[in-house]
Structure 1
Amino acid sequence: MPKQPIYEELENRIQQLEQEKSEYEETQNELGKSINNYRTIFNAVNDAILIHNIQDGSFLDVNQKASELYGYTKEEILQLDVNALSVGIPPYTQAEAKAYILKAMQDGPQIFEWQGKKKNGALFWVEVNLKKSLLDGKECIIAVVRDISERKQNEEALRREGKKYRTIIQTATDGFWLADMQGKILESNDAYCRMSGYSQEELRSMCIPELDGLEKPDVVATKIQKIFQTGYDRFETKHRRKDGTLYDVEVSTQYLAIEEGYFVVFLRDITARKEAEDKLKSSIEEKNILLRELYHRTKNTLQVIRSMLVLQAATMPDNVQVQKLVTDTEQRILTISLVHQKLYQSQDLSRIALQDYLQELADLIIQSYLPAAQNISLSFESEPLFLLLDTAIPCGLVVNELLSNALKYAFPNNQSGQIVIRVSRNEAANIEVSVSDTGIGVSPGFDFEAQTTLGLQTVFAIAEKQLQGKVRFLTQKGVTCIFEFPDTLYSQRV
Structure 2
Amino acid sequence: MEFFSLEMWAKIFWIKISYIGVATAAPLWFIVILEYAQHEKYLKPKYIGMLMVLPLVIILLAFTNDLHGLIWPSITPVSSVTGSPLIYAHGVAFWVNIAYSFILIILGLVVLLRLLMKSPRVYHTQILILITSGVIPLFFSVLYNTDILGIPGLDITPFGLTISGLLLAVSIFKFSLLGIRPIAYEKLFETIKNGFMVFDTNGTLIDVNPAAEMIGITEDDVGKQATDLLDKFPELKEFYHTAGEEKTIYVGDPFNRWIRMQITFLYDKNEFKGRLLTIQDISKLKRAEKDYIDSEERYKNLSELSPDAILVVMGEKIVFANKASATIFGMENPQDLLDKNLFSFYSPDSVETSKKRLHEVFVENKTLDFIEEKIISLDGQHKDIEVGDAPINYNGQRAVQIVARDISQRKKLEEELKKSLKEKDLMMKEIHHRVKNNLMVIQSLLNLQSRYIKDTDARDIFKDSQNRAKSMAMIHESLYQSSDLKRIEFSGYITTLANNLFYSYAADPERVKMSVNVDEVMLDINTAIPLGLILTELISNCLKYAFPDEESGEIKVDFHSDTDDGTNKFRLTVSDNGVGLPPDFDPQKSDSLGIMLIYSLSEQIGAEIKLDTSKGTKFDITFEEKLDHS
Cα distance in structure 1, aligned partners of 2:612 and 2:622:
14
Please point out which of 617, 621, 624 is paired with 1:483: 621
Q: Secondary structure of 1:205's partner? A: coil
Q: Secondary structure of 2:573's partner? A: strand
1:184-263 alignment runs, 5 A limit: 184-198=317-331, 199-213=333-347, 215-227=349-361, 228=364, 230-256=366-392, 260-263=397-400
Cα distance in structure 1, aligned partners of 2:627 and 2:305:
50
Deviation, 1:294, is 0.8
Contact 2:205–2:223 (CA under 8 A) maintained in structure 1: no
Name which of structure 1's ranges 365-374 and 235-244 shifts more when overlaid on structure 2. Answer: 365-374
Deviation, 1:332, is 0.8
Amino acid at match of 2:244: Y
Deviation, 1:246, is 1.8
Please point out which of 56, 62, 69 is paired with 2:214: 69
1:235-278, CA deviations, whole angstroms, 9 ceiling, x for partnerless residues? 22233211120222222333347865333332222233222222
1:364-399, CA deviations, whole angstroms, 9 ceiling, x for partnerless residues? 333434552455132323474522x33321221011
Name which of structure 1's ranges 41-50 and 480-489 shifts more when overlaid on structure 2. Answer: 480-489
**Structure 1 unaligned residues grouped into runs of 5+:** 1-24, 102-111
Q: Secondary structure of 1:445's partner? A: coil
Matched, 1:115 2:253: no
Q: Secondary structure of 1:491's partner? A: coil
Cα distance in structure 2, aligned partners of 1:80 and 1:373:
125
Please point out which of 6, 30, 43 is paired with 2:121: 30
Amino acid at match of 1:481: F
Q: Secondary structure of 2:478's partner? A: helix
Name which of structure 1's ranges 417-426 and 233-242 shifts more when overlaid on structure 2. Answer: 417-426
Contact 1:251–1:266 (CA under 8 A) maintained in structure 2: yes
Please point out which of 93, 96, 100 is paired with 2:244: 100
1:4-19 alignment runs, 5 A limit: none
Deviation, 1:87, is 6.0
Amino acid at match of 2:371: F
CA separation of 1:80 and 1:461: change in aligned 2, threshold 3 A: same
CA separation of 1:27 and 1:347: change in aligned 2, threshold 3 A: closer
CA separation of 1:37 and 1:221: change in aligned 2, threshold 3 A: closer
Cα distance in structure 2, aligned partners of 1:137 and 1:97:
21
Higher-RCO chain (CA-CA 8 Å, sequence separation at least 6): 1
Deviation, 1:355, is 3.8
Deviation, 1:401, is 0.4
Contact 1:424–1:433 (CA under 8 A) maintained in structure 2: no
CA separation of 1:179 and 1:231: change in aligned 2, threshold 3 A: same
Q: Secondary structure of 1:336's partner? A: helix
1:42-83, CA deviations, whole angstroms, 9 ceiling, x for partnerless residues? 334322224467x99x56644313531221235368512499
Please point out which of 359, 368, 390 is paired with 2:504: 368
Amino acid at match of 2:343: P
**Structure 2 unaligned residues grouped into runs of 5+:** 1-115, 125-180
CA separation of 1:238 and 1:32: change in aligned 2, threshold 3 A: closer
Contact 1:441–1:478 (CA under 8 A) maintained in structure 2: yes
CA separation of 1:32 and 1:451: change in aligned 2, threshold 3 A: closer
Residue 596 (structure 2) aligns with: 457
Contact 1:295–1:341 (CA under 8 A) maintained in structure 2: yes
TM-score, normalised relative to structure 1: 0.77
Q: What number of residue pairs does the alignment pair up?
A: 449
TM-score, normalised relative to structure 2: 0.62
Contact 1:240–1:247 (CA under 8 A) maintained in structure 2: yes
Cα distance in structure 2, aligned partners of 1:354 and 1:132:
99
Amino acid at match of 1:284: L
CA separation of 1:26 and 1:255: change in aligned 2, threshold 3 A: closer
Matched, 1:273 2:273: no
Cα distance in structure 2, aligned partners of 1:151 and 1:477:
94
Deviation, 1:335, is 0.8
Matched, 1:163 2:297: yes
Cα distance in structure 1, aligned partners of 2:119 and 2:421:
104
Deviation, 1:460, is 2.6
Deviation, 1:148, is 1.1
CA separation of 1:156 and 1:277: change in aligned 2, threshold 3 A: same
Please point out which of 235, 254, 257 is paired with 1:124: 257
Cα distance in structure 1, aligned partners of 2:533 and 2:471:
6
CA separation of 1:44 and 1:254: change in aligned 2, threshold 3 A: closer
CA separation of 1:292 and 1:62: change in aligned 2, threshold 3 A: farther
1:121-172, CA deviations, whole angstroms, 9 ceiling, x for partnerless residues? 6453233455555247524554443211111112212221221232122112
Residue 148 (structure 2) aligns with: none
Contact 2:321–2:335 (CA under 8 A) maintained in structure 1: no
Cα distance in structure 2, aligned partners of 1:81 and 1:362:
116
Please point out which of 172, 193, 206 is paired with 1:46: 193
Across the aligned residues of Structure 1 and Structure 2, the Cα RMSD in angstroms comes to 3.8
